Structure 1
Amino acid sequence: MGSPSPSIVWPLVHAERRALIQDLEQLPPAQWQTASLCAGWDVHDVLAHVIDTAKTTRLGFIRRLVAARMDFDRDNAMGVEREKAGNPQQTLARLRAVLSRTSGPPAGLATRLVEAFVHGEDIRRPLGISRTYPPAHVATALGYQVRTTAAMGGGKEIAQGWRLVATDTAFEHGDGPAVEGPAIALLLAVSGRPVADHELSGPGASVFLQQRQA
């Protein structure tokens, strides 16, 4: 699977940022502290991370990683602290300010789709907000995740030993018992996020879900 074109990726990323802003504009203050799907972060933290990533440049990423003593988690935590305002609406205004940026860390462009879709669900699902993502483009992000190791932010190890089959677009990967479901559910699962039992089916689904919960 080749790298997606910037002419495809960036309009999608910008559309996802715009949709996230619209979904969060009227969010009651107390709900900003809702635990996200990203362990240890509330939805306000995830929003700050989205902003931080949008502002990251390739050279800046190297400098930041050095400052964080080559610790990705520390760098992410520092980024959240930097971009998280005291008032969530101020943080949301910071996302508006970077909505059209086309910068990012030194990684494949597909990572921008992974971030947009996964972090969108990190925030929306705990808040009970529903969004329909473009399945074919979610499959592009999923294809990147299943080929990328966990050390590099992917889900290759989670996907190993299973045949992952999207039910809403043309995507199939791997060998083993079939695990079937919408591309977004598969993407979340291989990205280390919880998914509901009813979202996945197929001969391997129950064991796959049990291993994910262990």
Structure 2
Amino acid sequence: MDLTTVIAAERRELADLLDGLPDEQWDAPTLCAGWRVREVAAHMSMGFRYSFPKVAAELVRAGGSLHRMTDRLARRDAAASPRQLAGFLRDNAHHPWTPPVGGLASALGHDVVHGLDITVALGHDRRVPEDRLRVLLDHVTARSARFFGADLAGIQLRATDLDWSFGTGTPLTGTGADLLLVAFGRKLPAGRLHGEPQDRFVAC
């Protein structure tokens, strides 16, 4: 699989989805705590719009905290119009940006997971293509889950719509996309997960 082509397709599809959102949904909450749709959309294109020296300078301003830096930039850049925010993704579909670790698979994960942060919260029925999900699910490890704040100790994630599982212990079932969100530390709306551990992963 050519991940650069897959990433470009994901960005274009998300840009089209964003272009189709009614105005009021741009201010709706997402699975990213404290961020509306517009903050998530702004964050998704941060790597395209800020050079490494600018990122370094912003990181210094944030006292070395990556979280504070990304939050401030997302809130500031969310002032762009919905058309601009969608355009940042579409116009940079083939941008070579990748996160500091993980290469192209992590870049795909960044786009897919933040796209799900928006669509799941909005109740949108977009389905991430299975080939993209499998790339990301195959990269889930105990270490990556801990990095994203997901406590999966004693739990087996078991997908209901494809042949995939991770871990050992009490089963937690859901779609592959929903379990990917769990592995990325997200809390989901009630009713999407099943199994004894589900309450640990449901948004209040």
> Structure 1 length as normaliser, TM-score?
0.80
1:48-89 residue CA offsets vs partner (Å, 9 max, x unmatched): 000103446667655543443221211212331453344222
Q: Distance in 2 between matches of 1:84 and 1:197?
A: 28
Q: Distance in 2 between matches of 1:104 and 1:56?
A: 13
Q: Distance in 2 between matches of 1:56 and 1:107?
A: 18
**What is the root-mean-square deviation of aligned Cα atoms in Å?**
2.6
Tell me the equivalent position of 2:99: 105
Q: Which moved more, 1:186-195 or 1:76-85?
A: 76-85
Q: Distance in 2 between matches of 1:151 and 1:60?
A: 29
Matched, 1:14 2:13: no
Contact 1:43/1:123, CA 8 A, preserved across alignment: yes
User: 2:169 aligns to what SS in structure 1?
Assistant: coil
- Equivalent position amino acid for 1:135 in 2: E
Tell me the equivalent position of 2:25: 31
Unaligned runs of 5+ in 2: none
Contact 1:114/1:142, CA 8 A, preserved across alignment: no
> Structure 2 length as normaliser, TM-score?
0.83
- Residue correspondence of structure 1 range 194-209 to structure 2 within 5 A: 194-201=187-194, 205-206=195-196, 208-209=197-198
Contact 1:57/1:104, CA 8 A, preserved across alignment: no
1:100-153 residue CA offsets vs partner (Å, 9 max, x unmatched): 20112211032222212211111112333211212343233234344335663x
Unaligned runs of 5+ in 1: 1-6
Match of residue 85, structure 2, among 83, 91, 98:
91
User: 1:194 aligns to what SS in structure 2?
Assistant: coil
Tell me the equivalent position of 2:201: 212
